[in-house]
Copies of this chain bind each other. A is one copy, B any other.
């Protein structure tokens, strides 16, 4: 009710601030007898971990996750799963800059207004550090999807635009995303982004980006009309990620420009009586339910507000000040949003898989 949990049948509830002793979560609703260990989670955390190249914050965290409950002899037991990651790089430094002044575009002014208090160290609860638990919970969601759905569900993310520079979708190769610092699926765009982002970083600025996440082999019929539509829950999941300002499914905003006959995903009969779609403008979701086609989601990530370029602001006393944010920051947070968006999509799908199974299993 107060916003620190996500999902219904598969639900995770998180805690932790950027500079507290630890972050963690409780995952409730995981089916019993699924194989699970830290080794199923850690690789996803490693993908999200900052400090791996010059394009992300230089905070160095091992991000070693520990499973504290809910698993016995390598299998889930159906009871709640406690996960924890110790914070190991809470660099002790001078917070006077952020303690009493508010960064334009940052959560700190509005946290102070809402709660009358805020943990200003590293952004506290509003820090992107929180997203580590999303990734951990998403890894558990993937285990559910892979064991309950025949053939498993594949969830992959990519960055498709950095600032004004979009990729060429005709050159999309999923395998490329692991070969560069940007999760970029278009090898030819990588050097463009490298040069561009180096410039952004060097002048102390930041830039936004667009992330695309795709889930394949999603079962037909996931989603709960009419308010918990699959796309509605995906939109919420994505918009809840730090710095996200827009979400699209399938053609998204481009659908507004289309005529009905162009937007329709026509259907034909396959050789085995199955239905084949001739297009996927819908992004795998119609009427709030999955169609079995790829679920395609895009999210817009704004530039981080923590920059070295001075901006005008006020302090706690109401006086006008200029703000420069020193410290370790991401010139393009959209990069690190990729594994987070994958995780959130996994969480939504796992939740709706179990919800569907509860209501619509047929004898």
Contacts and interface: CB of A to CB of B under 8 A. Distances in A.
A70 to B, nearest CB: 7
A171 interface: no
Contacts of A303: 255, 258-260, 262-263
B2 A26 contact: no
Given A104-B265, A268-B320, A362-B116, A200 B291 contact: no
Interface stretch (A38-46, A50-58, A172-180, A353-361): A353-361
Interface residues of A, number: 157
Contact of A3 (B25, B28, B269): B28
A283 B307 CA distance: 20
Nearest to A363: B148
A359 B283 contact: no
Interface in A38-92: 66, 68-70, 72, 75-82, 84
A314 interface: yes
A11 interface: yes
B69 A23 contact: yes
A287 interface: yes
A68 B103 CA distance: 26
Interface in A16-32: 16-17, 20-26, 28-32
A252 interface: yes
A104 B265 CA distance: 6
Number of copies: 4
A221 interface: yes
A312 B275 CA distance: 12
B248 A246 contact: yes
Contacts of A80: 2, 4, 13-16, 125
Given A4-B227, A239-B229, A275-B318, A260 B309 contact: yes
B354 A359 contact: yes
Residue in A66, A125, A319 with the greatest tally of chain B CB atoms within 10 Å? A125
A231 interface: yes
Given A2-B28, A77-B117, A312-B278, A15 B256 contact: no
Give the interface centre of A68, A108, A114, A361 by most chain B CB atoms within 10 Å. Answer: A114
A233 B266 CA distance: 32
Interface centre among A79, A239, A248 (most CB of B within 10 A): A79
Top 7 A-B pairs, shortest CB-CB distance: A107-B287, A358-B358, A3-B224, A114-B221, A15-B82, A3-B228, A236-B236
